[in-house]
Amino acid sequence: MKKKYVCGIDIGGTNTVVALVDEQGVIPARRSMPTAGETVEAYAAKIGELIEEILADAGVRREEVSGIGICAPCADYRTGMIEAATNLPWPMPIALRDIVSKATGMAVAVSNDANAAAVGEMRYGAARGMKDFIVLTLGTGVGSGIVCDGHLLTGHRGFAGELGHSSVRGGEGRKCGCGRTDCLETYCAAPGVVATATAVMRRRGMEVPAELTAKMVGEAADRGEEWAVEALEYTGSVIGRACADFVTFSDPEAIILFGGVANAFRHFEPAMRKALEEHTLFLYRNRVKILATGLKATDAAVLGAAALAW
């Protein structure tokens, strides 16, 4: 029997989404549950129960499901392990792939969110038909997934592509949670956008809202407020300069922006493009596409996870 479906599972720090996904990226059924359980084995058993429920919801037989793809913090695609993840409630390390496979009786593939996003874009999104591209995930942090010749680049220990922790030259001395200074994510993740916007507002003599968020900055830019436009243009220029370096080592067809900050794509893309062209080697000028994600925001994580299972 032809396998027509896979299950995509997005494991977050507080919530887990389990979805049934077909070959075109349509989601006929989904359910969610807390990311909790006395043991990870008990949690995996609950995942198995949810899978049975969504199969019943969609009228799909187990024999039609190829397997399970899981997107989880710090998951290693090659080993199926999570060595360390501070936002999950169980002792580390976790043999996630093997535990979920045992609980469900299905083949399982796991990866971190950025790598899953890259595979999801290749299967269902903006990178369909491409073999060489970079996905940058711009959210609470900055992650990346690099695909070369149609294959996910994982590296010797599974940590290839931590582009969010590349160094910004000529930076302002922003401290990163990793312990270093001026990592890319201190400028281009959501907190970095807020830091930039705060600096712009203060320089303009404006009052800074107590609970300013990156989403609020994007919405202000949509309204044409100059401080927000300036902040996002600066963000775009920093991303563009960094991508000029990234392009030289992987020669991608495209750079794809994914995540909450990427919702402001139209505001920072022109500055990103300008900086990329100014700082990149002549061999790559005007040859690299800059694209917004092709995945619907509410479905992106489970589609990325599902794509791992085909």
Over residues 281-296, the pLDDT tens digits come to 999 999 999 999 999 8
Check residue 110 and give its pLDDT. 97
Structural contact between residues 81 and 94, judged by C-beta atoms closer than 8 angstroms: yes
What CATH code would you report for 5-118+299-307?
3.30.420.40
Residue 3 has pLDDT above 80, yes or no: no
Check residue 157 and give its pLDDT. 79
Check residue 152 and give its pLDDT. 93
Residues 166-221 have pLDDT tens digits of: 999 888 999 999 999 999 999 999 999 999 999 999 999 999 999 999 999 999 99
User: Scanning the structure block, which residue is given the tokens 């949509």?
Assistant: 222
Structural contact between residues 303 and 30, judged by C-beta atoms closer than 8 angstroms: no
What is the C-alpha to C-alpha distance for residues 280 and 167, in angstroms, rounded to an integer?
A: 16
Q: Which pTM value belongs to this model?
A: 0.90
DSSP, collapsed to helix, strand or coil, labels residue 3 as: coil
Residue 163 has pLDDT above 90, yes or no: yes
Domain boundaries, the chain: 5-118+299-307, 129-292
Check residue 222 and give its pLDDT. 98
Distances in Å between the Cα of 64 and the Cα atoms of 89, 97, 241, 245 are 33, 20, 46, 44
Check residue 1 and give its pLDDT. 62
Residue 2 has pLDDT above 80, yes or no: no
Residue 84 has pLDDT above 90, yes or no: no
How wide is the angle at C-alpha 73 spanned by C-alphas 67 and 74, nearest 5°? 100
Check residue 251 and give its pLDDT. 97
Check residue 45 and give its pLDDT. 98
| Percent of the chain surpassing pLDDT 90 | 89
Check residue 158 and give its pLDDT. 80
Check residue 232 and give its pLDDT. 99
Residues 67-72, mean pLDDT to the nearest whole number: 97
What is the C-alpha to C-alpha distance for residues 209 and 206, in angstroms, rounded to an integer?
A: 9
Check residue 292 and give its pLDDT. 97
Torsion sign, CA atoms 189, 176, 194, 276:
negative
Residue 4 has pLDDT above 90, yes or no: yes
The mean pLDDT value of the chain amounts to: 95
CATH superfamily of 129-292: ATPase, nucleotide binding domain (3.30.420.40)
Residues 6-47 have pLDDT tens digits of: 999 999 989 999 999 999 999 999 999 999 999 999 999 999
Check residue 298 and give its pLDDT. 85
Fold matches, 5-118+299-307 and 129-292: yes
Torsion sign, CA atoms 257, 258, 259, 260:
positive
